[in-house]
Amino acid sequence: MVRGKPETGVAGPLKLEAIRSALAPKRLGGTIHYFEEVDSTNVFAARRAREGAPEGEVVIAETQSGGKGRLGRHWFSPPYMNLYMSVILRPALPPADTPQLTLASAVALAETVEPFLRPPPEIKWPNDILVAGKKLAGILAESSCEGGRVLFVIVGIGVNLNFPREAMPEAIRERATSLMIVTGRPVDRSTFVRELIHNLDRCYGDLHENGFPCVARRWERYFRLKGKKVRVESPGQAVYGKAVGIDGEGALLLEEEGGEIHRVFAGDVVPIET
Sign of the four-CA dihedral 221, 224, 230, 234: negative
For the domain covering 16-221, report its CATH number: 3.30.930.10
**Other CB atoms closer than 10 Å to residue 254's CB: what's the count?**
22
> Residue 143: beta bridge partners?
153
Question: Does domain 229-271 bear CATH number 2.30.30.100?
Answer: yes
Would you mind telling me the total number of residues written for the chain in this entry? 274
> What does DSSP assign to residue 274?
-
Q: What is the location of CATH 3.30.930.10 in the chain?
A: 16-221
Q: Residues near 81 by Cβ (< 8 Å), separated by ≥ 6?
A: 6, 7, 10, 11, 160, 161, 162, 163, 167, 178
Direct distance between the N- and C-terminal alpha carbons of the chain, in angstroms, rounded to an integer: 51
Q: What is the location of CATH 2.30.30.100 in the chain?
A: 229-271
Closest Cα to residue 98, out of 263, 212, 203, 210?
212
Helices (H), 51-178: 99-113, 170-173
Q: What is the pLDDT along the chain (274 residues), one digit of tens a residue?
A: 233 333 434 457 899 999 999 888 789 999 999 999 998 999 999 999 999 999 999 999 999 886 655 545 555 678 899 999 999 999 999 999 999 999 999 999 999 999 999 889 999 998 899 999 999 999 999 999 998 899 999 999 999 999 998 888 888 888 999 999 999 999 999 999 999 999 999 999 999 999 999 999 999 999 999 999 999 988 778 889 999 999 988 899 999 888 899 898 888 898 887 6
Rounded distance, CA 214 to CA 91, Å? 17
